[in-house]
Chain A
């Protein structure tokens, strides 16, 4: 963290992830004159416009032109500035991806991409506005750090912390109706370090973004109803991923289920599976997310329920994985 600063404390019960992002960026803008903001006709929707209202000389709306949005951001970074670029996740990761890759990531430029409306959070808008591929795409871009905050408070932490990285960062947030997960901002957020939301020894639920809240709720209910001790890990940073926390969970709970508001190909579940597979450790493992299909239309809570990534779905899937035969590896210690 940029040490010794006293940050504003925002009311996460009343403010959405996007609103808090806008406020935090405005706060950072006062401290860092090199921050500039860019959007492509989504200044109001992404809330980067809040920064623009305070710093009109450092905010640029490029119109509905996402390729140029990312290209110009690269040029501004090359000119010694720190651009924050905001548009919807679907457009940041797909419409403009080659500009993100070649102009920003390839040149390792100090640009921050705050992609809003991630996953299915813009549910009624339909699949054109759902971003269920973005994490798979941006995870494959070299030099890029990828963060998926769980709630508005974690968004504030991530937006501040990304200033400590001299390189490109992609922060994926929702539309703004994600329930609050944390009590305060002071829980030790660190890029690349997973947060243990609940301790547990029977099974580990790994989540990021919107599914973290539901995972915590599910863990409480599973304890009450089934007497299960469910560990919940919030892997908010997908790249670089916290291998240590994942392997510790494998070793200590031997059952892992991932939940994500994303296609099950290439996102959180895949990232976790890579870590487990490369470790050579055996465990019961299940990825839950959007199956390989274009999402249904609906309110985000209904979509999450449909794909079993809300608390009900998490409970169902955890029970399934608990019921799965799994042969414990007697030689675990030898392999470690």
Chain B
């Protein structure tokens, strides 16, 4: 009985990790890849670690597993947000069929940039025109 639950949890975790890998390969744009990778991989690793805790059923292993799951749940969104923000500010283009860019519309990126970076952006003719407005 317990082996069946462990096998199911392992398969669910592997499935979600594979979905994350497929999303990273097939999505058209870095922001969608980031979304697929951070969400699905967190769930996949958590399912697999839960199966490990169920298999060993000891306090030491369960403590480690809870620590890993809690740390992943805390840090994966933070890391994904920092990476997406850095990618946006370094001029990474959106998918051409994207319709909404709220960060550009709010103008919040102007305040968050230092002045020398703004000057560098104005001097650089290779950056895309959409960001410069």
A binds B: no
